[in-house]
């Protein structure tokens, strides 16, 4: 008998995705070109942003966006040491660009209902030195964006929305990632769309956009609006190799762009399928005769239209000691699972290197999410009845484990 398997994602690519990727390979032009540009334009328009810049990952998108805040060409830039607020439940590469740009992270706890930043606690962490927020929209949900934007405005803060887990979600019908100066997205495996690796940054300011383009490609002026000025001023230098500032190489390939573009066109359909599967799992669990509140689930505020990519669970406190054995049990029985982002990042060994000063009591909820949380996949084809029953059976077995 075939072993039961419930992965974080299954059948990521359909035939047309493969066809689009293969067409690029056959053309032999694999480096960034027309398809990437077309996808960027389509992506920006579809989300309601002026500009989009594709990258080779969501991490690169975060690095680019944060680096613009410190770039010499930037109109509104931060000084070294400026404080940047970030939720403790974040990904490593939401955090590292802050340090890589000589800025100071200030961590804030999150809410238990949504896993997103706690706005009351955030307000208390704002000082004269606070200049920006790197928000993380966790697993397809967000905090109260109306309230957050009031805080941003009142305190004149820059906002980067790490939307790597929430492509397609909206708050009050406005897409997440388009509220701030920058929004970033990931197309990594198991995210809402995937090109294996890939990412995007969106913004509304033309200068920011041009800096992103330069930063993405070595810091040169080629393909930016700065080019004509520098070409004239430095006419002795080959115009294709004019470097105007710091830079990386974070470009995607045309293959990634072709696959992600093709998938992006059916994002709404993929979102609906994941939503449906989530409802089926939730319904079946709660109606099961063995259901005894073994788990808690995130609450979806009425202003949010979520875009799920995983299904998070919080284990009931009475089973907390069984968590390790339970996750091992799920893995052994074919159910892939993982932590909610990376738990409370302050507990990670890497964070110890920087000796961040914080009071443990200020991060009670982030610790709870680390101690009680995990998530499983939500697939982009309707879950089969048999698989659903198996999944539920294994999940509800938590009480029987020793």
Ligand X SMILES: Cc1ncc(COP(=O)(O)O)c(C=O)c1O
Catalytic residue ranges: 191
Q: Specify the stretch interacting with ligand X by CB under 6 A; choose among 72-80, 88-96, 201-209, 326-334.
A: 88-96
The residue number whose beta carbon is nearest to ligand X equals 58
94 near ligand X, judged by CB under 6 A: yes
Q: Angle at the Cα of 150 (from 210 to 78), degrees rounded to 5?
A: 40
- Taking CB under 6 A as the criterion, the residue among 91, 182, 209, 374 binding ligand X is 91
Nearer to ligand X, 134 or 242 (CB): 134
310 near ligand X, judged by CB under 6 A: no
Count the residues in the chain.
Answer: 402
89 near ligand X, judged by CB under 6 A: no
Instruction: Please report, for residues 76, 281, 330, 332, 387, the alpha-carbon distance to residue 3 in angstroms, rounded to integers and kept in the order given.
Output: 56, 20, 13, 10, 11
Per the CB < 8 A criterion, the answer to whether 140 and 165 are in contact is: yes
Distance (Å, rounded) from C-alpha 42 to C-alpha 47? 9
Q: Specify the stretch interacting with ligand X by CB under 6 A; choose among 43-51, 56-64, 226-234, 305-313.
A: 56-64
Instruction: Please report, for residues 1, 50, 74, the alpha-carbon distance to residue 78 in angstroms, rounded to integers and kept in the order given.
Output: 60, 23, 9
Per the CB < 8 A criterion, the answer to whether 325 and 401 are in contact is: yes
Nearer to ligand X, 111 or 165 (CB): 165
370 near ligand X, judged by CB under 6 A: no
66 near ligand X, judged by CB under 6 A: no
Distance (Å, rounded) from C-alpha 111 to C-alpha 198? 29
Nearer to ligand X, 141 or 242 (CB): 141
Give, as ranges, the residues between 164 and 183 that touch ligand X (CB under 6 A).
164-165
User: What is residue 319's DSSP assignment?
Assistant: G
Collapsed DSSP state (helix, strand, coil) of residue 170: strand
- Residue 188 CB, shortest distance to ligand X, in Å, is 4
199 near ligand X, judged by CB under 6 A: yes
Strand arrangement, sheet containing 104-108 = 51-55, 199-203, 182-186, 158-162, 130-136, 83-87, 104-108
143 near ligand X, judged by CB under 6 A: no
Distance (Å, rounded) from C-alpha 51 to C-alpha 125? 32
201 near ligand X, judged by CB under 6 A: no
Q: What is the dihedral of CA 302, 7, 320, 393, to 10 degrees?
A: 90
Distance (Å, rounded) from C-alpha 120 to C-alpha 143? 11
- Taking CB under 6 A as the criterion, the residue among 36, 49, 57, 66 binding ligand X is 57
- Residue 342 CB, shortest distance to ligand X, in Å, is 8
142 near ligand X, judged by CB under 6 A: no
194 near ligand X, judged by CB under 6 A: no
Nearer to ligand X, 158 or 392 (CB): 158
Where on the chain is the footprint of ligand X (CB under 6 A)? Answer: 57-59, 62, 91, 93-94, 136, 162, 164-165, 186, 188, 199, 341
């Amino acid at each position: 008998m075939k072993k039961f398997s419930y992965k974080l994602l299954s059948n990521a690519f359909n035939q047309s995705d493969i066809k689009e990727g293969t067409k690029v390979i056959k053309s032999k032009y694999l480096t960034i070109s027309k398809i990437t540009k077309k996808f960027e334009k389509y992506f920006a328009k579809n989300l309601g942003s002026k500009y989009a810049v594709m990258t080779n990952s969501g991490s690169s998108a975060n690095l680019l966006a944060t680096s613009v805040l410190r770039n010499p060409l930037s109109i509104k830039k931060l000084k070294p040491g400026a404080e940047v607020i970030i939720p403790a439940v974040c990904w490593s590469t939401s955090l590292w660009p802050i340090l890589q740009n000589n800025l100071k992270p200030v961590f804030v706890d999150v809410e238990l209902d949504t896993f997103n930043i706690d706005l009351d606690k955030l307000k208390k962490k704002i000082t004269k030195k606070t200049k920006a927020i790197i928000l993380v929209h966790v697993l397809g949900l967000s905090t109260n964006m109306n309230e957050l934007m009031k805080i941003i405005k009142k305190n004149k803060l820059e906002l980067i929305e790490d939307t790597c887990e929430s492509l397609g979600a909206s708050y009050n019908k406005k897409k997440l990632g388009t509220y701030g100066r920058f929004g970033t997205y990931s197309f990594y495996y198991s995210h809402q769309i995937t090109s294996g690796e890939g990412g995007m940054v969106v913004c509304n300011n033309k200068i920011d956009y041009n800096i992103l383009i330069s930063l993405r490609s070595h810091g040169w002026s080629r393909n930016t609006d700065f080019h004509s000025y520098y070409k004239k001023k430095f006419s002795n230098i080959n115009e294709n190799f004019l470097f105007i500032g710091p830079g990386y190489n974070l470009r995607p390939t045309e293959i990634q762009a072709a696959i992600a573009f093709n998938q992006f066109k059916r994002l709404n359909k993929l979102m609906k399928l994941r939503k449906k599967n989530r409802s089926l799992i939730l319904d079946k669990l709660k109606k099961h005769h063995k259901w005894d509140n073994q788990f808690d689930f995130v609450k979806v505020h009425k202003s949010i239209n979520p875009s799920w990519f995983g299904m998070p669970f919080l284990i009931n406190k009475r089973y907390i000691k069984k968590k390790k054995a339970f996750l091992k049990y799920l893995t052994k029985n074919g159910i892939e699972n993982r932590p909610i982002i990376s738990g409370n990042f302050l507990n990670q060994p890497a964070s110890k290197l920087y000796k961040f000063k914080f009071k443990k009591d200020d991060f009670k909820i982030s610790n709870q999410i680390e101690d009680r949380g995990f998530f499983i996949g939500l697939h982009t084809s309707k879950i089969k009845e048999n698989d659903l029953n198996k999944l539920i059976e294994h999940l509800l077995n938590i009480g029987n484990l020793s």
